[in-house]
Structure 1
Amino acid sequence: MQIELIETFLDLCETRSFNQTAERLDITQSTVSGRVKALEKTLGRRLFLRSRSGTSLTLEGMRFEPHARALRVNWSEALRATRDAGPTATTLRVGIQRDLTGTNIGDWVRSVRQFLPETSLYVESDFSTQMCNDLVQGNLDIAVIYSPKPHPDLHFETLSEVRFRMISDVADQLRMIPRDSYIMANISPAFARLHDSVHPSLAGAAVSCGQDSLLEALLTSLGGTAYVLEETGEKLVASGRFASVKKAPVLPQPVYSAIHLRNRHRSSHRRLIQLLAAHFADPA
């Protein structure tokens, strides 16, 4: 059985839309339909019902879904077993939210190397949604993220939080901050909701950005006002051009670990999460 059939079936279970699944998998709708038909032919059962109101699982489709998830996990494990046949026993693949790669992440890598000296370590940076998808597909072992994406195969834990502070080269009083030069830090959906509740007059700014390094670049280039990570804010204030905005509250952004549910109780993964929690509790 081709793994693409399983991936397409499971994506349809989430979207209940042939069009949306085609967009998410970057294939045509006819390809989605063809894969579903091929899977249904293999199983000898109809898995989906399509009507004007949308797409729904048949009883057989609902029964097959947990087995399809198990098949995908087993396929990922099989790929890992063949790819890890090298000078080291295993490769640990870690994804880190892009904003967090500068928080002395080398210290955590050093701790992991001491804990797992025979393990090869691969580290990459990305955004939360993609890393959650990579965990489900078996392309990552653990991730540090801002926004958990609910999924039955994933387990999340709160590690700590990072803090964002408002700085400006326009004014140092919150009541004097002009909306037309404000750059919105759209760090995560939760952060955006908190921001808009605290600063309703600044909601819906014309320019927004979802990455701290880009916020820093925009502020340096264009000037204005924005929330940035505290470490970034300290650096910009120290330059003499920017100032902290008085009476602007510090906004927290939680940091989470994410792993596949099958690894939730593994001692090695528990230790890795403990090392992450200790690191982000005191990144200095």
Structure 2
Amino acid sequence: MDITFLKTFLEVAKTRHFGRSADALFITQSAVSARIKLLEQTLGVELFVRKRNDIQLTPSGANLLRHAEGIVKGWERARQAIAVDPALAASLSVGCLFDLWSILVRKWSARVSALAPDIALQADILNAEVMVQRLSLGVLDLGFMFDPPQTPDLELRQVTAVPLILVSSRQGQDLDGATTEGYVMVDWGSAFGVVHAEKFPNLPAPHLRTNSGQVALDYIHGNGGAAYLPLAVVAPLLDNGLLHRVDDAPVIERHAYAVFRADAIERYSLKKALAALE
């Protein structure tokens, strides 16, 4: 099977539109239709229900979607491994949450490069669900996340504590004011949500909900307000007076984990990656 057929399928599944898929892939709309038709003929099933201005996945299409991304990523990784510089001994594919890049992974990647300059790194920003899926498929070597799932094939290693503190754009604001006037609720994971609900049982609806600390920080810069953000991220902003700590607010601590396949622990690149965490 031509891997471009699966890439085309993924694009159509994302856009639900043959014309927009053609634009994204820099091919004609007829070429998109032809590729999908050939893929359906190869698999012996229909992948899409085609209606005017309404393209939906069939049950078979939905099943293929769960596997197609892993196949495409696996193929791309194989190509990268074949094309790797002869001076490099191995490659390592890493995923992390957006907020963990600045908190943890950026400095860790520098340590890996210093400790093992013969390893080629591939780093991607991914959500936890995608990381777990790719780890299970073997197309991702290492993932950094909060609240990792407990599964038999994946091993977890606690890497660092991440203290989250309540900060505000307004100097001298107390806890009640910070959580009622422009409060931004950041989803730092299910464990954070439980503790947050215990600490603030009667919290009014927040002005904004987001799963990104950076989004919350940008919003506060532009509009004012308050949010729980990592101390490591906001420390410079506290020092120069751009943000202010809400002194009577409790600190909520989260833990970041490195997640990897248990059967890959003896791989040279993974050993070096884990050593760089110590």
2: CA distance, partners of 1:7 / 1:228:
37
2: CA distance, partners of 1:165 / 1:193:
16
Give me the identity figure in percent. Answer: 21
Change (3 A) 1:66 1:128: closer
Residue 181 of structure 1 contacts residue 224 of structure 1 at CA under 8 Å; is this kept in 2? yes
Aligned residue in 1 for 2:225: 224
Residue 47 of structure 2 contacts residue 60 of structure 2 at CA under 8 Å; is this kept in 1? yes
Change (3 A) 1:118 1:38: same
Aligned residue in 2 for 1:116: 116
Aligned residue in 1 for 2:52: none
Aligned residue in 2 for 1:88: 88
Residue 108 of structure 2 contacts residue 277 of structure 2 at CA under 8 Å; is this kept in 1? no
2: CA distance, partners of 1:256 / 1:250:
19
Aligned residue in 1 for 2:244: 242
2: CA distance, partners of 1:70 / 1:104:
26
1: CA distance, partners of 2:13 / 2:192:
30
Aligned residue in 2 for 1:142: 142
Aligned residue in 1 for 2:25: none
SS at match of 2:181: helix
SS at match of 2:117: coil
Shift in Å, 1:244: 2.9
Q: For 1:2-151, list aligned pairs within 5 A.
A: 2-6=2-6, 22=16, 27=21, 37-43=37-43, 45-46=44-45, 55-57=58-60, 75-103=75-103, 107-123=107-123, 126-128=125-127, 132=131, 135=134, 141-146=141-146
Change (3 A) 1:49 1:149: farther
Give per-residue Cα distances to partners, 1:40-91, cap 9 Å, x unaligned.
4335x447798xxx84359xx98x9999799657634531233314543444
Residue 113 of structure 1 contacts residue 119 of structure 1 at CA under 8 Å; is this kept in 2? yes
The one-letter code sitting in structure 1 at the alignment partner of 2:250 is P
Change (3 A) 1:186 1:49: closer
Shift in Å, 1:164: 0.8
Tell me how large the CA RMSD over aligned residues is.
5.0
Aligned residue in 1 for 2:156: 157
Q: How many residues align?
A: 261
SS at match of 1:202: coil
Q: For 1:254-273, list aligned pairs within 5 A.
A: 254-259=255-260, 261=261, 264-272=264-272
TM-score, length-normalised on structure 2? 0.63
Give per-residue Cα distances to partners, 1:6-62, cap 9 Å, x unaligned.
4677x7xxxxxx966848xx748x99986565234335x447798xxx84359xx98
Give per-residue Cα distances to partners, 1:178-233, cap 9 Å, x unaligned.
52321222344664565345424435312344433443444445443211112244
The one-letter code sitting in structure 2 at the alignment partner of 1:199 is F
TM-score, length-normalised on structure 1? 0.62
Change (3 A) 1:252 1:33: farther
Aligned residue in 2 for 1:202: 203
The one-letter code sitting in structure 2 at the alignment partner of 1:132 is M
2: CA distance, partners of 1:42 / 1:190:
45
Residue 8 of structure 1 contacts residue 21 of structure 1 at CA under 8 Å; is this kept in 2? no
The one-letter code sitting in structure 2 at the alignment partner of 1:242 is H
Residue 90 of structure 2 contacts residue 269 of structure 2 at CA under 8 Å; is this kept in 1? no
2: CA distance, partners of 1:69 / 1:127:
13
Between stretches 204-213 and 261-270, larger displacement belongs to 261-270
2: CA distance, partners of 1:134 / 1:180:
39
Change (3 A) 1:222 1:73: closer
